Chain A
Amino acid sequence: MKMVSEATSGNGQQVCLCEKVEEILDRYNRDVSQLISILQDIQEEFRYLPKEALEKVSEALSVPMAQVYAVATFFKAFSLKPKGRHVFQVCMGTACHVRGAPLILEKLERELGLKNGETSKDLAYTLESVNCVGACALGPVVVVNGEIEGHCSQSKVDALLRKVKGQSS
């Protein structure tokens, strides 16, 4: 079993990892039926699931590490590698697909220099596809940092990229 765990930043992050995970565990009363929610909150906090955090969860919930790892790798919500500060999610729902979502994904792949599912080395951008965000009437849809952008065309993607790049500089 290969575990990927890279510290996202310097020591500061490492020190507070334990406390943060404890706090999240308490939020759910250390209840094993909330394992997915706990992992989701950890993912949100660190933008991935650090190995140390998974170990902590396994210990606190008295659940074998194998089960925590199985859940962490089964569900799409989780990543064992850090995600970028800006996340582009291209909706691949059926409605978006028939309105040209694959071409939008390819456009983003070209412009960001990333393949679907990859994160840039400087951790600035992540590009991923999602199965349906339920905004089907607006397709094709791209979700940029949680904001839904509807009726995407190639030129709208250009505008979105300019906007996001402007924010990060």
Chain B
Amino acid sequence: MASRNIPLIRTVEDLEKARERFREKYYSVKRYISVCGGTGCRGGGCLAVAEEIKNVIKEAGLEKELPVRLTGCHGFCERGPLVVVYPQKIFYQKVKPVHARKIVLRSAAQGEVIEELLYENPEEAKKVVQEEEVPFYKHQMRLIFGMNGMIDPENIEDYIALGGYSALRKALFEMQPEQIIEEVKKSGLRGRGGAGFPTGRKWESVRRAKSRDGIKYVICNADEGDPGAFMDRSLIEGNPHSVLEGMIIGAYAMGAHQGYVYIRREYPLALKMLTRAIQQAREYGFLGGNILGSGFSFDIGINRGGGAFVCGESSALMASMEGKVGEPRPKYVHMSEKGLWERPTCLNNVETWANVPLIINKGADWYASIGTEKSKGTKIFSLVGKVNNTGLIEVPMGITLRQVIYDIGGGIKGGRKFKAVQTGGPSGGVIPESLLDLPVDFDRLTEVGSMMGSGGMIVMDDRTCMVDVARYFVNFLTEESCGKCVPCREGVRRMKEIIDRIAEGKGKRGDLELLEEMGRAIADGSLCGLGQSAPNPVLSSIKYFREEWEAHIKKRKCPAGVCKELITYSIDPEKCTGCMACIKPCPQQCITGERKKPHVLDASKCIKCGACFDICKYDAVVRQ
């Protein structure tokens, strides 16, 4: 096993010499092509693009002068596959293998800009050349996420060349454990997994906690279960060493010698990158015995999750790591006292760990200068749903929702009307237009009935039904409730039954009041965070969109045209051009008509599958 071999880097001097060497090796050539290898771009075919670029380079005999890096996620998934030509940082989007020749021979080799692949700023109808100038990037502050687009996540040398593991060096040789904890406390860093617990305080309790045999654990929570959030996945895929470095520093500060990463099974690429990163960290001497000659020993293992949302909760996560069913327990005794195998345990989220090297390197004062009074630093959000520029963004805490959705996100898709933004996943809530100027931080989001969560921001337009969204979350929570405590198991199910009825047009007077009452009871009576926050999506929706709920109950109508039982499809004869495109996809053969004459839809046979609505280019299919 690699860990038994003598590591390549054994002292601080080794590290700095190696850094020089790797800098020379990778960055003496300033010209290179970076291809985004994140999951989004892979879904768009970036691997074929990278392959073709390499082929062209080989053919042209440019292998030495023009390296290609398959990097982590650049964030702008909507426009993938993405390619950036360095050093000019020419930003190409929606690249296909056929473009490889132009990019290599004309753009990278001769500095030419390929117009057709540039991003066009829709507001000014102007092409943008450089990555930083694209509005999507321009308004961001990419402290944690920025390196993703530069380094090859499969190569630890790349990370070292760009300054990686220098925070570890500082922590091990220039700081006492207590000083590190003090620094983290002073920085104001709060847990990025959702609840926002002060990280430094958690570390302090673990450091002070007594363990019967001296064993303590640190764990990285990579069981990113919030639907609609994928920043943790992208960090592990794109820059796994930043997470490992944070964990090693934390372990040293708390006196732990064993760490684990609990990672979701739905993320095969992240698992691969993480496994490789841990292996390399061992080979190079950042994990194992006597790290960098400091006398401190620490290693990290991997635990794969089994696909249960509740396992993002600390005690459930640790139960499942012990080979048990992932059920939470009451926390009269905190995990920092008795966690995994009854030993003091510190569990932090991926993004939290990735913040640590930055705080150590640049200092708590610098870090605390970013953000709001009680929420410091930046936060990565996944900006998705009905917004033009979807992807991952990193912004300083305190930015307003309007800035996020309009300046970075480029507004609502298809020029439609903004309706709400959902944050915090199944524990969070919906936020209406009247609150768009709300500064985004932990406390402000909680105040309005939502929460930060792990950072999903799902934008909704006037075609999203708020009853349907609430129904979606309650469905999700009914499935994911572990079943241990009654308020959550039974209460959420009853809420689901009521909402199902409302969505089917069988709502009754008093339903909303009942939902509100139940919601309060479930929040009060549930054992863990899942149940305590489960009513949020429903309560916030009723609070801000009561009219829409009442339309379902009183008028038996779904104004957004989503709830199946309350809508009908028809064809607007004014708009129908008679193109016949909708006739074939209809599985019920309920659309009839001749070419160039308005078609007719027989609503009695229609199963409301939406195939005609999808295909019609003239908005002639009406759903109401």
A: which residues have CB within 8 A of B? 32-37, 39-40, 61, 63, 67, 70-71, 74-78, 92-95, 97-100, 103, 106-107, 110, 130-139, 141, 146, 148-150, 153-155
Of the candidates A33, A134, A155, which one forms a contact with B323 in the assembled complex, judged by CB atoms under 8 Å apart? A33
Question: Is B224 in contact with chain A by the CB < 8 A criterion?
Answer: yes
Instruction: Give every chain A residue within 8 A of B587 (Cβ-Cβ).
Output: 110
Q: Which residue of chain B has the shortest Cβ distance to A137 in the bound complex? A: B77
Is A36 in contact with B304, judged by CB distance below 8 angstroms?
yes
Q: A-B contact count, CB below 8 Å?
A: 164
Known contacts A35-B323, A40-B304, A155-B614; is-contact A131 B265 (Cβ 8 Å): no
In the A-B complex, the 10 residue pairs with the closest CB atoms: A75-B306, A137-B77, A134-B230, A76-B307, A35-B323, A93-B227, A132-B227, A95-B384, A94-B228, A148-B43
The interface residues of chain A lying within 8 Å CB-to-CB of B460 are 98
Bound CA span A130–B226, Å: 12
The answer to whether the Cβ of B190 comes within 8 Å of any Cβ in the partner chain is no
B305 with A153: CB separation less than 8 A: no
Q: How far is the CA of A146 from the CA of B269 in the complex (A)?
A: 11
Among B229, B305, B307, B480, the residue within 8 A (CB) of A136 is: B229
Q: CB distance A94 to B458 under 8 Å? A: yes
Q: Are B309 and A134 in contact (CB under 8 A)?
A: no
Considering the complex, give the chain B residue whose CB is closest to the CB of A106: B609
Complex contact A36–B306 (CB within 8 A) = yes
B386 within 8 A of A: yes
Verify B306–A94 contact, CB threshold 8 A: no
Extra A-B contacts (4), CB below 8 Å, given A36-B306, A153-B614: A94-B227, A97-B472, A136-B382, A136-B390
Q: Which residue of B lies closest to A63 (CB)?
A: B323
Q: Does B101 contact A (CB under 8 A)?
A: no
Q: How far is the CA of A100 from the CA of B562 in the complex (A)?
A: 9
Complex CA gap A165/B435 in Å reads: 49
Are A61 and B323 also in contact (CB < 8 A) when A131-B476, A136-B384 are? yes
- Do B304 and A134 touch across chains, with their CB atoms under 8 A apart? no
Query: Which residue of chain B is the closest to A100 with respect to CB atoms?
Result: B610
Q: What are 22 residue pairs bridging A and B, where the CB atoms are less than 8 Å apart in the complex?
A: A32-B323, A33-B323, A36-B306, A71-B306, A74-B308, A74-B326, A75-B326, A76-B306, A93-B227, A94-B473, A131-B307, A131-B309, A131-B476, A132-B228, A132-B230, A134-B224, A134-B266, A136-B384, A137-B77, A138-B43, A148-B39, A150-B44
Report how far A138 CA is from B38 CA in the complex, Å: 12
B391 contacts which chain A residues (CB < 8 A)? 137
A52–B325 CA distance with the chains assembled, in angstroms:
20
Could you say which residues of chain A place their CB within 8 Å of the CB of B590? Answer: none
Cβ-defined contact, B228 with A34, below 8 A: no
Q: Given the complex of chains A and B, what is the CA–CA distance between A103 and B305 in angstroms?
A: 29
Does B373 lie at the interface of the complex (its beta carbon under 8 Å from any beta carbon of A)?
no
Min CB gap B430→A, angstroms: 11
* Given A71-B306, A74-B325, A94 contacting B43 (CB threshold 8 A): no
- Determine the distance from Cα of A130 to Cα of B614 in the docked complex, in whole angstroms: 23
Q: Which residue of A lies closest to B382 (CB)?
A: A136
Pick from B40, B225, B422, B609: contact of A131, CB under 8 Å: B225
In the assembled complex, which residues on chain B have CB atoms less than 8 Å from the CB atom of A131? 225, 227, 266, 307, 309, 476, 480
Complex contact A94–B390 (CB within 8 A): no
Known: A98-B464, A132-B227. A103 touches B43 (CB 8 A): no
| Bound Cα distance from A62 to B228, whole angstroms | 39
Question: How many Å lie between the Cα of A67 and that of B78 in the bound state?
Answer: 44
Q: In the complex, are the beta carbons of B44 and A132 less than 8 A apart?
A: no
Tell me which residues from 38 to 94 in chain B have a Cβ below 8 Å from any Cβ of chain A: 39-40, 42-44, 77-78
Q: Nearest Cβ distance between residue A38 and chain B, in whole angstroms? A: 9
> How far apart are the CA atoms of A48 and B520 in the complex, in Å?
41
Q: How many whole Å from B183's CB to the nearest CB in chain A?
A: 32
A88 to B511, CA, bound (A): 37
Collect the chain A residues with CB atoms within 8 Å of residue B77's CB.
Answer: 135-138
